[in-house]
Amino acid sequence: MVFLGAAVLLSLVIMTSVILANSPGKLPLFLDEKGEKLSGSISEKEFVTIGGVEQGMFIRGENIENPVLLFVHGGPCFSEYFLVEKYPTGLEEAFTVCYWEERGGGLSYNADLSPESMTMEQLASDTIEVTNYLRERFGKDKIYLAAHSGGTFFALQVAAERPELYEAYIGIAQITNQAESEKLAYAYLLEQYELQGNERMVEKLLKYPVMEDETYVKPFFKSLVRDQAMHQLGVGTMRNMKSVERDVMVTTLMSQAYTFKEKINLWVSKFSFIKKTQLADEVIDTDLTMKVTKLEIPVYFFSGVYDLTVNHDLSKAYLHQLEAPVKEFYSFENAAHSPNFEEPEKMMEIIRRDILNI
With contact defined as beta carbons under 8 Å apart, do 342 and 304 qualify?
A: yes
Domains of the chain, earliest start first? 42-177+287-355 (3.40.50.1820), 180-279 (no CATH)
Give residue 344's pLDDT.
98
Q: How confident is the model at residue 2 (pLDDT cuts 50, 70, 90)?
A: low
Give residue 59's pLDDT.
98
Rounded Cα gap, residues 309 and 210, in angstroms:
15
Rounded Cα gap, residues 94 and 66, in angstroms:
6
Residue 330, C-beta contacts closer than 8 angstroms, at least 6 positions apart: 300, 301, 302, 303, 339, 350
Give residue 13's pLDDT.
55
Q: Residue 195: is it exposed, middle or buried by C-beta count within 10 angstroms (0-12/13-18/19+)?
A: exposed
Give residue 46's pLDDT.
96
Buried/exposed code over 34-60 (b: 16+ C-beta within 10 A; e: otherwise): eeeebeebbbebeebebeebebbbbbb
Q: How confident is the model at residue 89 (pLDDT cuts 50, 70, 90)?
A: very high
Q: How confident is the model at residue 315 (pLDDT cuts 50, 70, 90)?
A: very high
Give residue 10's pLDDT.
44
Q: Is the pLDDT of residue 70 over 70?
A: yes
Residue range 24-37: average pLDDT? Answer: 91
Residue with the larger pLDDT of the pair 26 and 19: 26
Reported as a single tens digit per residue, the pLDDT across 136-166 is 999 999 999 999 999 999 999 999 999 999 9
Give residue 219's pLDDT.
85
Q: How confident is the model at residue 25 (pLDDT cuts 50, 70, 90)?
A: confident
Omega prior to 88 cis, within 30 of 0: no
Give residue 8's pLDDT.
47
Rounded Cα gap, residues 193 and 156, in angstroms:
34
Give residue 358's pLDDT.
86
Reported as a single tens digit per residue, the pLDDT across 250-281 is 888 888 899 999 999 998 898 889 989 999 99
Residue range 188-199: average pLDDT? Answer: 96
> What single DSSP character describes residue 203?
H
Reported as a single tens digit per residue, the pLDDT across 286-297 is 999 999 999 999
Residue 157, C-beta contacts closer than 8 angstroms, at least 6 positions apart: 120, 124, 288, 291, 292
Residue range 53-59: average pLDDT? Answer: 97
Rounded Cα gap, residues 175 and 290, in angstroms:
12
Q: Is the pLDDT of residue 353 over 70?
A: yes
